Amino acid sequence: MKTPLYETSVPVFIRMLGQLARILDKAAADAEARKIDPAALLASRLAPDMYPLVKQVQIATDAAVDGAARLAGVEPPSFDDGERSFADLGARIRKALAFLETLGPGQFEGAGERAVSWKSRDATISVKGAPYLLNHALPKFYFHVTMAYAILRHEGVALRKGDFMGKA
């Protein structure tokens, strides 16, 4: 059986970006309640050589938008990475969601067999759509959503597994 690429990409990205937005809303409320400078949370990271929270969210939205766009064979929108607040990150997520909602299953017909290419730091990589989604786009997306969650937990934001997973 072929992997249904629309069903395993766009609805997954939409659902988890919604969860990420709720996590960020909780973090903003927590910062206010604990009288923590929100900028300090946005700059937090788990290790000195890791990206901070704001960059984790930027990469997660880019991974969702770019991944879905490449599979659908359309040009992804470009975001400017100028977010400096929780509200800015929420707006970025809403822009990503608005783009994802423009995509339909028909655009993904044959995407599993089409070549998908992207530039890494060192080279241009080209693989078929199904391996691209399953081995690159989804893992990258989940990694950065997870890092955002982990950074906030590490900083004391009262998040639980249900905040990440949501309701089935």
Question: 141 with 16: CB under 8 angstroms?
Answer: yes
What pTM did the predictor assign? Answer: 0.95
* Domains, the chain, with CATH or none: 10-165 (1.20.120.450)
- The tens digit of pLDDT for each residue in 69-103 reads 999 999 999 999 999 999 999 999 999 999 999 99
Beta carbons within 10 angstroms of residue 134's beta carbon: 15
- pLDDT for the residue numbered 121: 87
Q: What CA–CA distance (Å, rounded) separates 162 from 46?
A: 21
